[in-house]
Structure 1
Amino acid sequence: MRAGTASVFRVVSYLEGLSFLVLLLIAMPLKYAADMPEAVAIVGMAHGVLFALFLAGVAVMAVLFRWRLARIAGAVAAAFLPFGPFVLERRIRKDGKEGEEG
């Protein structure tokens, strides 16, 4: 169960990071430069759902793998930074055991 949960979290993390980049780099410029607000509406909704799933995943991972408060805070902060979820995933894989150390 732990490995499956970690795999699902990796996928959600990757998708959340990707949706944030699409929102910032494609949808927002389309809204303001090409007067296409639909792009932000669509991508923004998808990103919002993925953001909520990411935060729920952080909570589940924190409980299952007994993350320290610093790791939890870093994971939440990563969701607000472009490329943050990708860096988080790399650190989790590097640390092993889904990042048990804080």
Structure 2
Amino acid sequence: MLKIFKLVAILEGFSFLALLSNMLFIKPNNSALYKSLLYPIGMAHGVLFIGYIILAILNKFKQDWSLKDFAIIILGSFIPFGTFYIERKYLKNA
């Protein structure tokens, strides 16, 4: 299950960066492209985010993470590039 969590963490990080890039770089220049990309990118990010949180909860009990480690892993999903840090530091052995 840790390998699946590692994959979801990486994909969630990329989807978050794609969503931010869409808002920061495409929206000011081309609003039609922004609107056409918003739903698929947003939906993918939402599904991956929910999967990340659920897998983090399941792995907390399976891997016996401390409350501090679990909080850092959850907070990593709210920060750009945070899931990449989590993947490197906490999921390295997967």
Q: Same fold (TM over 0.5)?
A: yes
Equivalent residues in 2 for 1:43-82 (5 A)?
43-82=41-80
Match of 2:75, SS? helix
Provide the identity percentage. 34
C-alpha displacement at 1:13, in angstroms?
Answer: 0.4
Return 5+ residue gaps in structure 2 as ranges. Answer: none
Quick one: distance in 1 between partners of 2:29 and 2:65?
A: 43
CA-based RMSD: 1.4
Quick one: distance in 2 between partners of 1:93 and 1:18?
A: 17
Quick one: distance in 2 between partners of 1:58 and 1:64?
A: 10
Q: Deviations over 1:29-66 (max 9, x none)?
A: 32342103121111011000000000001001101011
Return 5+ residue gaps in structure 1 as ranges. Answer: none
The TM-score, its normalising length taken from structure 2, stands at 0.88
Quick one: distance in 1 between partners of 2:15 and 2:77?
A: 11
Q: Which amino acid aligns with 1:7?
A: K
The TM-score, its normalising length taken from structure 1, stands at 0.82
Identify which of structures 1 and 2 has the higher relative contact order when contacts are C-alpha pairs closer than 8 Å and 6+ apart.
2
Match of 1:42, SS? helix
